[in-house]
């Protein structure tokens, strides 16, 4: 490990006080003069032809300034994967949240009232609601023009010889697992405001993870060059993968261009459930061959995904799920097939964990099932197969750092694994104690393609540093992390680093806050950019201190000779001297992840930049008469590479674990004939402090990742993945019965107990 001054310290986020005091300004807080307010008319039905759209009465309603239909959209098609979505529907409805009309008025209330006056005539079409049904011959087609019908895409991961692997096995274990749709549940719903500038440029204020993607998609939709579209990323009240793609921005921009007034659009909580993306429901078939000694010889997986009405990011979700599906284990023979389908359900997209969350659940539940068949401790089974540094990942690329073994050891030790026997009685006669564990592998950066990051830097006259990036902080704390990287590289206090981001007209391009890539790739770009201005400062200081530049270094805001630290000069003097002599100290840094190519047929190649690992353990108490349970202790041990900001890392682990807990134990979007039945927090159950584990222990395992800046990996997404299987494994341990599908509600636990007897 490198000797570090700033990295490794728990430094509070700069926006913390504003957040807790309510002073942070969100899009909703922007109220320019003359602002208009929007509303969207949505289909409210799963599958239909549009026969006629009449906005006449709505357009004449009080306060209404303009109303948009499909004919008002210059280029009415888009999509993250391919253009299968329309901004406003003109001929067909494919799910209940499909937008048909957008309008704006002088107030929210007037806009919503006018939306109710829009008259749309429909002819309902036969729907399809399950991926299994969608693939049957003769099923209704969601997109009749799609060349493969309701099959959006399919693919496979192939490594080794699957048949030979099963031939080596002493036993073969097969099981099917299912997961349901999960809402992102950000406290702030989708919100945006558009303004038309005098130059003809449209500026959109929006809470988004991907400002440059929004800019590109919006420019295409509006028929404008990207220089005429500016995205300003506002303070985000949560994202979790749900703010990747355009939802309302086109409505606001088109209304602003038509009225020449600022226009705001927002989603209601009901629309968040019925019209925005959700986590893909999965059906996961697992077949695993093992020897009597517990060595895994082969794994065969088939994943069936309900993509809903549109492809969105589903192809990437499916491929990552398949690649991570075999888990953090050394397996020579793998085949994982994935199938993504269209249905008339609400459409699925990117959610924290991006497919690996679902397969982590299935894999780790399956590992416990295998251990039961072998009469082996689940901990021992995992230890015997755990990946190590230098092993190949499932895409064949080398794992360059791996702390999995240490996460297994530290997590199980924290719950005193050997002290709790299966089904041991607690104080009350109907209560049973149980403990469970789950391990995880998760990749950093985009899959199978180069992922760029960039940063601009400038040293000011007083030796403070300005860093400009295209990365946006949507709650993950990336702003303070990047400031720490910059301060460490230059050798100045973190307070002397000013970070500017969130403006596509100023910042360098960045793909967005996705893929747990910011600390690793964004940090690398910042380190490179700061390293360049540091070299300029050292060159200037060399003449001032009469020493060779290569013999100098900067620490605590002072330049000194490494072999004679008493020979020093303040960095402020050097910076001021540069400016006085008209030598501006500026630079840029770019870093692109390695792309060695991935075979499309087998998904073998250099898939990702690096990998993170984790183990979580849970202790539970279950009432076998009611199915109710309490999680007494959750331990989350995560290999994050170098922890830039331990407090921030712990926050990510705890927040991600809470989201994983919700997925596994209580959250479920209930669908009936293509309509969401519980589109409010009153009926959609989220973990509260009362529901959450009574005690949570976060353990940070640090390994040095040679590809990352200062050995950094990442932590944002993977923290969500092992929680559900760890807790469900603990419940199964307590009740002596198996649960395959999540969420594992008390009713599901009680059914498992009854079926297991």
Q: Give kind and range of the element (H or E) at residue 255.
A: helix 249-259
Percent above pLDDT 90 for the chain: 84
Exposed/middle/buried for residue 580 (C-beta within 10 Å: 0-12, 13-18, 19+):
exposed
Percent above pLDDT 70 for the chain: 97
Residue 677 gets the label, from left (phi > 0), alpha (psi -120 to 50) or beta, of: alpha
Per-residue pLDDT for 182 more than 50? yes
Q: From the CB of residue 33, how many other CB atoms can be counted at a distance below 10 Å?
A: 6
At 757 the pLDDT is 53
Q: What is the DSSP-derived secondary structure letter of residue 455?
A: E
Task: List the one residue out of 231, 194, 265 whose CA is nearest residue 37.
Answer: 265
Angle between helices 646-665 and 356-374 (to 10 degrees): 70
At 475 the pLDDT is 85
Q: Give kind and range of the element (H or E) at residue 656.
A: helix 646-665
For residue 350, say if its preceding peptide bond is cis, omega within 30 degrees of 0.
no
Cα dihedral across residues 412, 413, 418, 422: positive or negative: negative
When computed from its CA atoms, the radius of gyration of the chain, rounded to whole angstroms, is: 27
**3-state class of 559 per DSSP?**
strand
**3-state class of 603 per DSSP?**
coil
Buried b / exposed e across 612-649, counting CB within 10 Å, b at 16+? bbbbbbbbbbbbbeebbbebbbbbbbbbbbbbbbbebb
Per-residue pLDDT for 512 more than 90? no
At 702 the pLDDT is 95
The residues, ordered by sequence, that sit 6+ positions from 545 with a Cβ below 8 Å of its Cβ are: 552, 559, 561, 567, 568, 569
**3-state class of 218 per DSSP?**
helix
At 2 the pLDDT is 56
Domains, the chain, ordered by start: 35-125+190-266 (3.90.1170.50), 282-447+599-756 (3.30.365.10), 451-592 (3.30.365.10)
Angle between helices 404-414 and 378-385 (to 10 degrees): 160
Task: Please say whether the beta carbons of 271 and 217 come within 8 A.
Answer: no
The residue assigned the tokens 């009680």 is 750
At 447 the pLDDT is 67
- For the stretch 403-462, pLDDT in tens is 999 999 999 999 999 875 544 556 568 999 999 999 999 998 766 566 788 999 999 999
Mean pLDDT score, 692-721: 92
Mean pLDDT score, 515-539: 91
| pLDDT band at residue 596 under the 50/70/90 scheme | low
Mean pLDDT score, 339-349: 96
At 3 the pLDDT is 67
Mean pLDDT score, 45-56: 98
pTM, 2 dp: 0.95
Mean pLDDT score, 355-367: 98
Task: Please say whether the beta carbons of 616 and 733 come within 8 A.
Answer: no
- For the stretch 600-654, pLDDT in tens is 889 888 878 889 999 999 999 999 999 999 999 999 999 999 999 999 999 999 9
At 654 the pLDDT is 94
Task: Please say whether the beta carbons of 636 and 722 come within 8 A.
Answer: yes
The residue assigned the tokens 């009225």 is 259
Task: Give the separation between CA 149 and CA 80, rounded to whole angstroms.
Answer: 19
At 235 the pLDDT is 87
Query: In this structure, what token pair is assigned to residue 5?
Result: 């001054």
At 565 the pLDDT is 83
Mean pLDDT score, 673-688: 95
Mean pLDDT of the chain: 94
Mean pLDDT score, 659-666: 96
Task: Give the separation between CA 702 and CA 98, rounded to whole angstroms.
Answer: 46
Out of 96-100, 205-209, 450-454, 637-641, pick the least confident: 450-454
Per-residue pLDDT for 245 more than 80? yes
Task: Give the separation between CA 227 and CA 215, rounded to whole angstroms.
Answer: 9
Task: Give the separation between CA 261 and CA 368, rounded to whole angstroms.
Answer: 60
Query: In this structure, what token pair is assigned to residue 574?
Result: 């050097």
Mean pLDDT score, 236-257: 94
From residue 655, how far is each of 47, 259, 649 by CA, in Å?
37, 42, 10
Task: Please say whether the beta carbons of 481 and 473 come within 8 A.
Answer: no
The residues, ordered by sequence, that sit 6+ positions from 81 with a Cβ below 8 Å of its Cβ are: 311, 312, 313, 314, 315, 316
At 458 the pLDDT is 97
At 1 the pLDDT is 46
């Amino acid at each position: 490990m490198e000797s570090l001054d700033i990295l490794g310290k728990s430094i509070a986020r700069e926006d913390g006080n504003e957040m807790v005091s309510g002073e942070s300004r969100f899009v909703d807080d922007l109220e320019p003069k003359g602002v208009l307010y929007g509303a969207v008319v949505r289909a409210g039905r799963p599958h239909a032809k549009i026969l006629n759209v009449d906005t006449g009465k709505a357009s004449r309603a009080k306060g209404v300034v303009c109303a948009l239909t499909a004919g008002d959209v210059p280029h009415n098609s888009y999509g993250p994967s391919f253009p299968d979505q329309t901004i406003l529907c003109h001929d067909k409805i494919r799910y209940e949240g499909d937008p048909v009309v957008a309008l704006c008025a002088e107030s929210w209330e007037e806009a919503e009232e006018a939306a109710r006056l829009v008259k749309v005539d429909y002819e309902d079409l036969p729907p399809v609601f399950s991926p299994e049904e969608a693939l049957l011959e003769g099923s209704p087609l969601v997109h009749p023009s799609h060349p493969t019908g309701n099959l959006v895409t399919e693919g496979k991961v192939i490594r080794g010889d699957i048949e030979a692997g099963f031939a080596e096995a002493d036993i073969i274990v097969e099981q099917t697992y299912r997961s349901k749709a999960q809402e992102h549940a950000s406290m702030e719903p989708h919100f945006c405001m558009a303004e038309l500038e005098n130059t003809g440029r449209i500026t959109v204020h929006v809470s988004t993870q991907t400002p440059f993607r929004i800019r590109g998609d919006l420019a295409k939709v509006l028929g404008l060059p990207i220089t005429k579209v500016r995205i300003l990323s506002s303070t985000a009240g949560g994202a979790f993968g749900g703010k990747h793609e355009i939802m309302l921005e086109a409505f606001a921009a088109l209304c602003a261009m038509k009225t020449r007034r600022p226009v705001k659009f927002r989603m209601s909580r009901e629309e968040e459930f019925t019209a925005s993306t959700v986590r893909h429901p999965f059906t996961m078939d697992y077949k695993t061959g093992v020897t009597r000694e517990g060595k895994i010889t082969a794994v065969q997986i088939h994943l069936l995904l309900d993509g809903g009405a549109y492809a969105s990011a589903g192809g990437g979700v499916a491929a990552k799920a398949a690649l991570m599906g075999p888990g953090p284990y050394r397996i020579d023979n793998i085949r994982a097939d994935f199938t993504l389908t269209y249905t008339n359900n609400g459409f699925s997209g990117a959610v924290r964990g991006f497919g690996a969350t679902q397969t982590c659940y299935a894999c780790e539940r399956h590992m416990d099932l295998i251990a039961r068949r072998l009469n082996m401790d689940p901990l021992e089974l995992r230890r015997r197969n755990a990946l190590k540094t230098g092993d190949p990942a499932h895409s064949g690329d080398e794992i360059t750092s791996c702390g999995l073994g240490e996460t297994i050891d530290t997590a199980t030790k924290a719950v005193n694994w050997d002290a709790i026997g299966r089904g041991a009685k607690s104080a009350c006669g109907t209560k049973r104690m149980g403990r469970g564990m789950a391990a995880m592998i998760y990749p950093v950066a985009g899959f199978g393609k180069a992922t760029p990051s960039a940063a601009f830097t400038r040293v000011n006259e007083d030796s403070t540093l300005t860093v400009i990036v295209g990365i946006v902080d949507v709650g993950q704390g990336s702003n303070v992390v990047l400031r720490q990287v910059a301060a460490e590289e230059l050798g100045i206090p973190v307070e002397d680093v000013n970070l500017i981001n969130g403006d596509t007209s100023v910042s360098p391009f960045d793909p967005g806050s996705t893929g747990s890539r910011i600390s690793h790739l964004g940090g690398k770009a910042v380190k490179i950019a700061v390293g360049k201005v540091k070299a300029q400062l050292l060159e200037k200081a060399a003449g001032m201190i009469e020493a060779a530049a290569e013999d100098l270094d900067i620490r605590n805001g002072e330049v000194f000779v490494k072999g004679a630290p008493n020979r020093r000069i303040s960095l402020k003097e050097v910076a001021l001297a540069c400016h006085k002599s008209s030598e501006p100290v500026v630079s840029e840094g770019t870093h692109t992840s390695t792309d060695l190519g991935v075979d499309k047929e087998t998904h073998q190649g250099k898939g990702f930049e690096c990998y993170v690992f984790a183990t979580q353990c849970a202790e539970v108490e279950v009432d076998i008469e009611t199915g109710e349970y309490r999680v007494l202790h959750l331990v989350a041990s995560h290999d994050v590479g170098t922890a830039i900001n331990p407090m921030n890392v712990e926050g990510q682990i705890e927040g991600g674990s809470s989201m994983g807990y919700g997925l596994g134990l209580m959250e479920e979007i209930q669908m009936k004939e293509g309509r969401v039945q519980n589109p409010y927090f009153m009926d959609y159950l989220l973990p509260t402090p009362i529901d959450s584990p009574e005690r949570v222990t976060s353990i940070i395992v640090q390994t040095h990742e040679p590809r990352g800046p200062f050995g950094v990996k990442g932590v944002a997404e993977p923290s969500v993945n092992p929680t559900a299987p760890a807790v469900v494994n603990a419940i199964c341990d307590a009740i002596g019965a198996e649960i395959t599908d999540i969420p594992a509600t008390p009713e599901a636990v009680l059914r498992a107990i009854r079926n297991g007897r």
